[in-house]
Homo-oligomer: A and B are copies of this chain.
Amino acid sequence: VPGPLAYLNGEFLPRSSATLSVEDRGFVFGDGVYEVWRVLGGQPFELDAHLARLKFGLGELRITPPDIAESDMFSNVAKRLLGASSLETGEATIYLEITRGAAPRTHQFPLTPTRPTVFAVANRFEPPEPLRARGARAITMPDVRWLRCDIKTIQLLPNVLAKQTAVEQGATEAIFIRDGVVTEGSHTNLFGVERGVIRTHPANNLILGGVTRSVVIDIARSLGIEVDETPIAGDRIGGLDEAFLVGTTTDVMPLVRVDEHTVGSGAPGPIAKQLQLALRERLDAIGGERRSPATIAS
């Protein structure tokens, strides 16, 4: 049994022996991007949408995309990582990070082009179904992040600090407020429902245009639910009929409390439940699996 592997710069290594140069620009400057895929039955969900976002980010950072940004190459690496950890069945995630590589420290790009650092691992994933059934809590916090949140970079310290604050307050997520409106969560997008219409922040430079965000918007419209991509005022969260988080490992997570406000009836709302069910069907379709409705929403 080989045990968990990491993919690092073209090699498959035992995870504990995958190490980086201290001069890696990811470590010294946060000079890199990443992606996380949901994997079902060995199949990455929305494989190409994540790779497209990855290439967009590499382009913005002006890092030449390495081979792994191509679908075939990524699929091969994913297959081997999943296989080594017996993750070809059930649920998993794949994490991929690409940095500008290792070079003597200067803010500007290295004079001699570096080989980008490519790191990937696969992990078992357990969807948070019990929490989904009862609904989650969130807090709001000022959005102090930079103005290129549309790039999925490893510049995640404000997200780390916000999420930690949420967890310490018994909440699942911190929702960022900038200039009086909700932008998104620390690692999720926020959707609200008012009079049957879904509202969420437009996919501009102030949020990460989530892959699952797009999927859920697509599902909602296909179900005849109107989606209005205009921001929700921070002081209107308490008055929403429903609120839910959306993300790669979050799926659709109903919020029942935000700060001191009860959202809607205080239980997961009908639109969130309907969207989660439809998203779950898409996830299961890729994995070729069937789950009983009982495990989806109790």
Contact = CB atoms under 8 A, between A and B. Distances in A.
Interface of A: 6, 8, 15, 18-22, 24-31, 34, 61-62, 95, 97, 99, 104-105, 107-109, 119, 121, 123, 142, 144-148, 153-161, 163-164, 166-167, 186-187
Contacts of A144: 146-148
A239 to B, nearest CB: 28
Chain A contact residues, majority secondary structure: mixed
Contacts of A6: 22
A192 to B, nearest CB: 22
Contacts of A146: 144-146, 155, 157-158
Which of A24, A97, A154, A186: most chain B CB closer than 10 A?
A154
Given A19-B19, A61-B161, A164-B108, A27 B26 contact: yes
Nearest to A24: B27
B18 A22 contact: yes
A171 to B, nearest CB: 11
Contact of A160 (B29, B154, B186): B29
Contacts of A105: 95
A28 to B, nearest CB: 6
12 contacts: A19-B20, A27-B99, A30-B155, A31-B157, A31-B160, A61-B161, A62-B164, A95-B105, A107-B159, A108-B164, A109-B160, A146-B155
A108 B163 contact: yes
A157 B20 contact: no
Contacts of A119: 22
A31 to B, nearest CB: 6
A52 to B, nearest CB: 21
A18 to B, nearest CB: 5
Contacts of A156: 28-31, 107
B167 A28 contact: no
Contacts of A158: 146, 148
Given A19-B19, A22-B18, A119-B22, A28 B154 contact: yes
Contacts of A142: 147
Contacts of A167: 108
Contacts of A121: 22
Contacts of A29: 154, 156-157, 159-160
Given A19-B19, A29-B156, A107-B164, 4 more contacts: A107-B163, A108-B164, A109-B164, A144-B146
A290 B33 CA distance: 47
Contacts of A108: 160, 163-164, 166-167
B20 A154 contact: no
Contact of A153 (B20, B21, B157, B159): B157
A247 to B, nearest CB: 11
A186 to B, nearest CB: 6
